[in-house]
Structure 1
Amino acid sequence: MKIRTQLMFIAAATLLPVVVFSAVALNLLLEAERNAALKNLREAARAMALIVDSELGNADAALRVLATSRALASKDLRGFYEQAKSADRGPGSWTLLFNYNGEQLINTLLPFGNTLPSSADLLRVQASKMELKSVLEGVAGNRTYVSNLLKSPLTGRLVTTVNVPVQLPGDMKYLLTETFAADYFVRVLSHGNIPSSWTLAIIDRDGNFISRSRGADQLIGKPARPELIRAARDAQQGQIRHLTLEGVDSYDVFVHSALAGWTVAIAAPADQIELSARRAVKLAALGLLAAVLMAAVTAALVSRSLVRAIAGAAASAAAIGRAEVPAESITDIEEIDKLHAALNNAGILLRQELQSRQRAEAEREALLGNEQHARQLAEQQNTAKDQFLALLGHELRNPLSAISGAIRLMQMQPAGGVNPQHLLRAQEIIERQSKHLSHIVDDLLDLSRMSMGKISLNKKPLDLARVVKACVDALHTTGRTSAYTVSVAVESAWVDADATRLEQIISNLIGNALKFTPAGGKIDIKLKAEAASHTAVLMIHDNGIGISSELLPRVFDAFVQGVAQSDKALGGLGIGLHLVRQLVQLHGGEVSLMSAGADRGTTVLVRLPLLSEEARQAVVPVTAETAGAAPLSILLVEDNRDAREMMAALLDMHGHQVIEADTGEEGVLRALEHKPGIAIIDIGLPDIDGYQVAARIRSHPALRGTLLIALTGYGQLADQQRALGAGFDYHLVKPVDIDRLMDIIRGNSAASRLSV
């Protein structure tokens, strides 16, 4: 048998098991990809069921809270109506109250006192679904009952209800019902993050659609596919493959709501489920085919070259047998060429092999060293993460514990009345610790924004000396510097910077000096303008515990910090200096830190570019005429009653006239009626959001001069941009910084007075 044939057999024998096992692997891959896609579908269905249960559970909890109402117990139906109205869960939801005889007493969909549908109408609607009297008597063990899809006799709309029986002293029995319009769950489930090609549906226990992401207008109240209804009745959860109502071949995964027994189903087109699997199998099959063809071609080419090379080696061997010097033979096969020169090149080859082995060993050692370094770095990072999480828990628990104790102290009512000193102390603790919690959250958010490159600066010409003095004065006011000697020597140095970020930088650095300096220590703060380098240089020096040589190279890294003094009330998360460096660099400056070692103090230098003389000349100084504040008419739109009352009280204490509104529509009407100078508007309102309120106010010529301030819990850059795009002048994040708000109001008051 020729060598070419043998090589072809070798290639075939090698590829045969590869082909067989590849076919098996491709089939397993197809099945695995399909199962993975179906698993994602099941997880999405469970998530949607949890959302439904969460809505129903919240409604149940709200009804049970209403059941304990003193107004209900005292038969004060008007007072109870107001409480029930405030408990409604937004558009598409309202609350009803029935007495033991099934008579409807309250319906928050209508104003109090309006004529309500008769009990006979309601009983006709619910007669086939539940026995109202049985619910009132607590036959179900006082358990909540969730209805199927019903038709409301009041509105004629399709609704579902959550029913809670109420038993009060004196044999008073009621039924509390939270009613949801069918489109309520359409809005709830629209927040689910599912692909647009999937179909999401909620089906009641009778098999009728409560909600559906496709064709909701035509299909709500209509029965689902029979095969899906049968499958849902036979199992708590599962999946089927069938044609949807749109005629699409789909995998349909279903689960049941734990509270209502409804079926939550998600259908995904079968082509989409199997698309990635088929693509992967097709790609793998093409690769296998290419490998087979390449192996066959390679075997043929190699066999031809090998036959020629062996024939030449045989001729050389024959020449040696004849005592002849073999003729030089150069082939395209390295091994045959080496055979001809084996004796002459043996020593050279041995040396080359030794050198090659030495290089390989050196490379292996280098790789091993890199691997060990990477492992150590990973261990250090993991340790830093664990330490950060433990420290974060400690930093959060400390202020929360202090706040909890202060609140408990304020709640105690001794016979002689509250001790004013204790009350004042509790208020100071709550204020201080709340600011500390806010500082922790702000630092964490700044770190996240910095890592994503979402920090933006609001630069303007500033005298750095004034900012330094303001930061030191603030620390003096809070008493944090009372145990230290703080010297301040600053000269005017104008920079183009963000005032808030400058304060954050300086407060962090001075705060670090206080934290790592024992009581009785000294802190020197100096600022000078270096004309030669056109740089403002801020130096903060302390005689505290210093920084070890091991820690110094990593002191600006995130989550790295030294050991604070044991008597310090405030700790830290190890991100302050990291943020300082990032913020200084954003301003085009640089920061450095020096320490001679433990117990030898620390010096921090911050260098920022000075403002050009032309830009400095253009700065308009603030005069006494522009620094004052005049009373203003302020519109406050906030749906949270407690927050609105507290903010109104604060503004009133500053001498301003406050106009209150708890909805967006009311806020627009009040603005048109009173034409306020300033409007503080919450973004999340029950009817229209704050962006729409701002747009409507801006659309009226008489209100275009009104200063609009957005007040929200969302503080990302996208939220700020959206607020400004809607017409707001300022974007403030809850909990609002009262000093910052008052500065804005005073600035607007001064501007108004100058324009008169």
Structure 2
Amino acid sequence: MRLSTRLALLAAVALIPMVIFSGIALEKLLDAHREEAIRGMQETARATSLIIDRELKSAQSALRVLATSPYLSEENWKKFYDQAKVANVPGGAWIVLYNEDGSQVVNTRLPFGSVLASRPDPHEIAEIIQKGEPHISDLSWGPRAKAYVIFVDLPIYLPGGKRYVLSQAFYADHFNVAFAGRGIPSTWVTGIFDRKGITIARSRDPGTLIGKPAKPELTEIISTGKDGTLRHITRDGLDVYDVITHSELAGWALGIGAPAAEINSAIWRAIYIALGGLFAALLLAGLAAAFVGRGLLNSISAAAQSAAALWKREEIPPRPSSGIIEVDEMHAAIREAAVVLVKEQQARTLAESEREQLLLREKAARKQAETESKAKDEFLAMLGHELRNPLSAITSAISLLEMENVSPAIIARAKNVMRRQTDHLASIIDDLLDLSRVMSGKIRLNRHALELSGVVTSCIETFRTAGRFSHQNISVHAEPATIHGDTTRIEQIICNLIDNAIKYTPEGGSIGIDVRAQGNEAVLTVKDTGIGISADLLPMIFEVFVQGENTLERAKGGMGIGLSLVSRLVELHGGRISAESEGTGKGSTFTVRFPLFESATQADNRSPVEPDDRKYTILLVEDQEDGRELMAMLLQSQGHHVLQAANGTQALQLAAEYQPDFAVMDIGLPGMDGYELARRLRSDVHTSAIRLIALTGYGLQEDRYRALDAGFDLHLAKPLKYEELKRFFNSEATV
């Protein structure tokens, strides 16, 4: 037997358990699907049965009302006839009044005074009067009506001793109302049967089957009075699953049959797919066996050639790799033997080859070192440039503020420059730290159900408030799309993309922002008509520190890390990002795709609480004097009373004496650090209620957790913006 044949058999044997267990799983799936479908049919049958009972109860109620008529005691049959005529239920029903002997006294189906016949089953009248209970008949043939009818009977006992039976008669087709508007598929067969198994109504071919007995297998279940399920062939020749339920009021049976082919069709499709997959697996196994077998045969043939070369003492045979350890060891043994035999002949060539390899490796290493050195120098130069620019602007602004006789407009402009450049410095540092955390795997996401369109709207409003949209035409389309994300990081992604679009779109250009749900993804698109991306830069637009002449960010003074950070944050959220551009000057499109969060709940629609601008007593703990003084001045300018402490000991004394509302504390304090200070404040009953805010240059997620564990209510990273503190103050004021 050939090796390839053996491998094919081995693959087939390995697939046998998969075939067996797949068959078992498919069988269980078929049973589960069938049971689920039958449960649905049972629910439909019970609901339809309730409709029948409702019709019968309505008829009984009408009879009870009519039984109280004074015309019965007076035997004023004309008046009673007129009253009963008015009480008739529309849709083919009529009222009949019977004597004890079964003769009719009043029949609203005929004109008053007509000759009336006795009831087809007069003995039933006597039984109804004797039992004294409401009665619902089985299906019977009405000779005068020349149709199948149903009677709802009510015995009446008058004070004078006379006894009657008041009945409401229905044509059998009246009960077709149970099928109408029920949403029952037209392919299903539905029938109503009396207690004897006689067909009262049927959704298909009623004309020929009304009044006929049900099939024996159905009659057997109907006669028991219990609900049941069976599979059988209908009189129409359909193979159906039948569900039988009974009316609690009449004792009739309701049957709903669904075609077996319809129930099983979905499962059979799955079976066909599974069989196709199994066949494909067998085919692939055969191909794999043939491929591996060919590799083995080639390896064995190569070994034979190597042995022949060894015998003839020719050049050293090659050492092919077959992926099979034993075969490779055989090749190695042959080759080692050849090396021993031709060692002297090949020694010089081997040495020369080694020297060449060393030279090539040395050149490659030198080139790599030069490249890395150049990249380091370029990055340091770029970083210095990016840091000096805002520092230069801040220094100039400070010089302006120190000058005398400077106009208020210039002072305001200088302040705006300082604020903007400080924000720019913070952004550079944050981007560097964030990228470092992402690349080292130290970043943690606080993910929850997040409405992407809401975050986009918030970011756009921030840019609009800052006046960033004053030179471009902005269009926004935001549809609801819930994702599982970290609010801060998602805002970082969106703001980076919008900031890039603004930065690289000239005045008068257009920027389009679109959010929508597509399939199982939330899609964010930021499209602009700006300077575009060249074809050679596009493939590496998301790489870190791309060379200056190829980097889009560098063209506008950026550091080349923004898009790289965005790309990695998107990947951490399980999403993906892509960039498109037709070339330089033709705009660009960035598309971000996040998985939709299926189990996300609807956002809280409560109205936001109005901010509360209360004035508070605030304890400011900072060992750096300039920073403390400036922060104190800022808080005092907003009307707050500020207590200043340079270390933990002073802070404990001031907190115990004044019991401030809030304490803003640096972590890196001399002697007693901020964590220990927070723990002491929390442990003292007089200061435990103070709301503690950690202010630190350490911004890692671990630092936040450590601050919260020490008792802080909020962790903020330097440089601090007063708006962040104000939001916390206001949120605490509404608790």
Taking structure 1 as the reference length, the TM-score comes to 0.48
Q: Which has the larger radius of gyration?
A: 2
Taking structure 2 as the reference length, the TM-score comes to 0.49
